C-alpha cells in the first residue's frame, strides 16, 4: 500500500512541477492556454490531495482489521465438536484410519495441525484427527465453548472473605471455606471477580482463588475399554426398569444433587437429577451416571472433589436420594434438558435459582 501511494504522489508531483515550470515561459498573449494550464494545475493538486487522503484511510482500515500498529491478530487454537451424538477420532487424516477415541457432543480441544479438511487435535488425553465437517473453529468455537463450558473456581485459602465492593477495605458480607463453591458473575478486573453470594452480588480477590475454564474432553479407546470393564465388574441392578445403573450410582447421583441443589426445593433437586439422566440416555455423552458426572468440565463439584467427599461421608439429605431415585426411574420436570446454570445467565426453564435447557 505504501509503495503504491508513494508512486502516485511522485507522479502527481512531477506533473505539477512540469506545469509550474511551463507557466513562466507562456506568451502573455496566450491567455486561453494559461487559463487552461492553471486549471490543469489545480486539478492535479486535487487529485494529489484526494489520493493521499484515500491512501491513508485504506492503510488505517487495514491496520484496524489486522490489529493495532498493523500487527495481525492471533488465530484461536480452540476447536469444538459440532455433532448431535459423538465423533470418531482417527490415527491419521482419513476415514479409513484406525479409530483412537471419541469426542462426545459439547467436547472441545486445541488444534495441533490442519490439512486436507482434517484437524489434528488434543482433547484431554485424546490426540488424533477429526474431519473438519464436524468441527467448529474461531468465533463459532468460542461461542459454543461459552455456551457449554464452565468456569471452575478453586478457593486457595482456608477462609475467603466475600466483600460488598471490589475493594480490600470494603465491608465483609460473608466467609467461604475451601470446600465451598463460587458461582462467578463476571471479572471486574485483574484483582477482583464478582460472585453470586446468597442471591446477592459479592466480590472476592483473585489473589486467593484459581479460576480455570473447562470444556468437556474426549475419551481414548483405552479409557473407554477400562470404563466398560469396570461397569461389567460392578454389580448391576435395575431400578423400575428405567435405566440399568451400578449399585453405588444412586448414592453418587444423590451426592451430586446435594452439591448442586442441596438448598433448592425438591423440584430443583429433581431437575438436576433429570439433567444427568437425560445425558445418560442421549447417546451424546458417556452412557453411565459416573461417566456423565465426572466428564471433564461439566459439573464443578465433581471436578473440585466435593462430590467425592460428600459421597464418602454419606452426609446426603434424604430429599437428594428421593430426587435421584425419581430421575433414575425416568421422571423429569425439565423435559430433555442436558444443561443448567444460575438463573439469569441463559434462556430456558427456570426452577428455583437455576435455569435448565
For residue range 28-41, what is the model confidence (pLDDT) as tens digits? 445 555 565 566 55
Higher-pLDDT residue of 199 and 222 is: 222
In a domain, residue 140? The reply is: yes
Distance in angstroms (rounded) separating the CA atoms of residues 66 and 49? 26
Which segment of 18-22, 99-103, 345-349 scores lowest on mean pLDDT? 18-22
Q: 243 pLDDT band (50/70/90 cuts)?
A: very low
User: Nearest Cα to 165, choosing from 207, 200, 204?
Assistant: 204
Residue 144: how many CB atoms within 10 A of its CB? Answer: 19
Range of the domain at 95: 78-148
90: CB partners within 8 A, 6+ apart: 97, 98, 99, 100, 128, 129, 130
Using DSSP's 3-state secondary structure scheme, residue 339 falls into coil
| Residue 5 scores a pLDDT above 50 | no
Give yes or no: residues 252 and 328 share one domain: yes
Q: 350 pLDDT band (50/70/90 cuts)?
A: very high
Give yes or no: residues 99 and 44 share one domain: no
Give yes or no: residues 238 and 297 share one domain: yes
Give yes or no: residues 95 and 143 share one domain: yes
User: Nearest Cα to 1, choosing from 67, 49, 47, 60?
Assistant: 60
Measure Cα distances from 43 to 16, 34, 47 in Å.
10, 14, 6
pLDDT attached to residue 118 = 97
Measure Cα distances from 9 to 47, 178, 280 in Å.
9, 68, 69
Give yes or no: residues 279 and 345 share one domain: yes
pLDDT attached to residue 22 = 52
Q: 258 pLDDT band (50/70/90 cuts)?
A: very high
**What cell numbers appear for 125 in the block?**
488425553
91: CB partners within 8 A, 6+ apart: 97, 98, 99, 100, 128, 129
pLDDT attached to residue 66 = 47
Q: Where among 99, 130, 148 does a domain terminate? A: 148
Rg, C-alpha atoms of the chain:
32
Give yes or no: residues 46 and 87 share one domain: no
Measure Cα distances from 312 to 233, 278, 306 in Å.
21, 25, 10
Residue matched to cell numbers 477420532: 89
User: Nearest Cα to 345, choosing from 146, 143, 209?
Assistant: 146
- Highest-scoring range by mean pLDDT, 29-38, 60-69, 206-215: 206-215
CATH of the domain at 188: 2.30.30.40
Q: How many residues does the chain have?
A: 357
Give yes or no: residues 195 and 249 share one domain: no
Asked if 277 and 291 count as a contact pair (C-beta separation under 8 A), the reply is no
pLDDT attached to residue 122 = 96
Give yes or no: residues 266 and 251 share one domain: yes
Higher-pLDDT residue of 268 and 345 is: 268
Q: Where among 111, 126, 148 does a domain terminate? A: 148
Higher-pLDDT residue of 288 and 178 is: 288
Number of domains comprising the chain: 4
Distance in angstroms (rounded) separating the CA atoms of residues 307 and 13? 77
Q: Where among 47, 70, 93 does a domain terminate? A: 70
pLDDT attached to residue 277 = 95
In a domain, residue 83? The reply is: yes
Which letter, b or e, does each residue of 322-342 get, where b requires 16 or more Cβ atoms within 10 Å of its Cβ? Answer: bbbbbbbeeebbbeebbbbee
CATH of the domain at 330: 1.10.10.2520
pLDDT attached to residue 356 = 92
Higher-pLDDT residue of 296 and 203 is: 203
| Residue 323 scores a pLDDT above 60 | yes
Q: 239 pLDDT band (50/70/90 cuts)?
A: very low
In a domain, residue 223? The reply is: no
| Residue 12 scores a pLDDT above 60 | no
Give yes or no: residues 126 and 174 share one domain: no
Distance in angstroms (rounded) separating the CA atoms of residues 217 and 171? 40
Give per-residue pLDDT as tens, 112-159. 999 999 999 999 899 999 999 999 999 999 998 888 877 767 788 889
Give yes or no: residues 330 and 344 share one domain: yes
Distance in angstroms (rounded) separating the CA atoms of residues 279 and 82? 16
In a domain, residue 224? The reply is: no
User: Nearest Cα to 5, choosing from 47, 40, 43, 63?
Assistant: 47
> What average pLDDT does this structure show over 36-56?
57
In a domain, residue 219? The reply is: no
Give yes or no: residues 278 and 350 share one domain: yes
In a domain, residue 313? The reply is: yes
Give yes or no: residues 94 and 56 share one domain: no
In a domain, residue 85? The reply is: yes
In a domain, residue 227? The reply is: no
> What average pLDDT does this structure show over 76-95?
92
pTM for the predicted model, two decimal places: 0.55
Average pLDDT in the chain = 79
Amino acid at each position: 500500500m505504501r509503495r503504491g501511494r508513494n508512486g502516485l504522489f511522485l507522479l502527481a508531483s512531477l506533473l505539477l512541477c512540469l506545469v509550474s515550470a511551463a507557466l513562466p515561459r507562456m506568451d502573455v498573449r496566450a491567455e486561453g492556454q494559461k487559463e487552461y494550464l492553471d486549471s490543469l494545475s489545480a486539478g492535479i493538486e486535487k487529485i494529489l490531495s484526494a489520493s493521499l487522503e484515500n491512501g491513508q484511510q485504506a492503510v488505517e482500515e487495514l491496520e484496524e482489521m489486522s490489529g493495532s500498529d498493523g500487527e495481525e491478530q492471533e488465530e484461536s487454537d480452540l476447536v469444538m465438536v459440532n455433532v448431535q451424538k459423538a465423533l470418531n477420532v482417527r490415527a491419521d487424516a482419513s476415514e479409513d484410519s484406525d479409530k483412537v477415541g471419541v469426542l462426545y457432543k459439547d467436547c472441545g480441544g486445541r488444534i495441533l495441525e490442519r490439512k486436507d479438511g482434517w484437524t489434528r487435535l488434543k482433547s484431554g488425553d485424546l490426540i488424533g484427527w477429526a474431519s473438519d465437517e464436524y468441527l467448529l473453529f474461531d468465533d463459532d468455537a468460542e461461542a459454543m465453548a461459552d455456551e457449554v463450558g464452565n468456569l471452575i473456581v478453586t478457593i486457595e485459602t482456608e477462609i475467603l472473605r466475600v466483600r460488598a465492593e471490589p475493594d480490600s477495605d470494603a465491608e465483609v458480607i460473608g466467609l467461604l471455606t475451601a470446600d465451598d463453591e463460587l458461582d462467578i458473575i463476571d471479572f471486574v478486573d485483574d484483582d477482583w471477580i464478582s460472585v453470586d453470594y446468597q442471591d446477592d452480588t459479592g466480590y472476592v480477590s483473585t489473589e486467593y482463588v484459581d479460576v480455570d475454564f473447562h470444556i468437556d474432553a474426549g475419551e481414548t479407546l483405552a479409557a473407554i475399554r477400562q470404563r466398560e470393564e469396570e461397569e461389567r465388574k460392578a454389580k448391576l441392578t435395575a431400578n423400575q426398569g428405567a435405566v440399568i445403573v451400578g449399585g453405588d450410582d444412586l448414592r453418587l447421583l444423590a451426592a451430586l444433587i446435594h452439591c448442586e441443589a442441596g438448598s433448592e426445593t425438591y423440584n430443583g433437586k429433581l431437575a438436576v437429577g433429570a439433567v444427568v439422566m437425560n445425558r445418560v440416555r442421549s447417546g451424546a455423552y458417556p452412557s453411565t451416571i459416573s461417566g456423565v458426572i465426572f466428564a471433564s468440565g461439566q459439573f464443578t463439584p465433581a471436578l473440585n472433589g466435593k462430590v467425592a467427599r460428600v459421597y464418602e461421608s454419606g452426609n446426603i439429605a434424604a430429599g437428594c436420594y428421593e430426587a435421584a431415585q425419581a430421575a433414575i426411574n425416568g421422571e423429569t420436570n425439565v423435559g430433555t434438558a442436558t444443561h443448567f446454570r444460575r438463573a439469569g445467565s441463559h434462556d430456558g426453564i427456570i426452577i428455583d435459582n437455576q435455569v435448565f435447557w
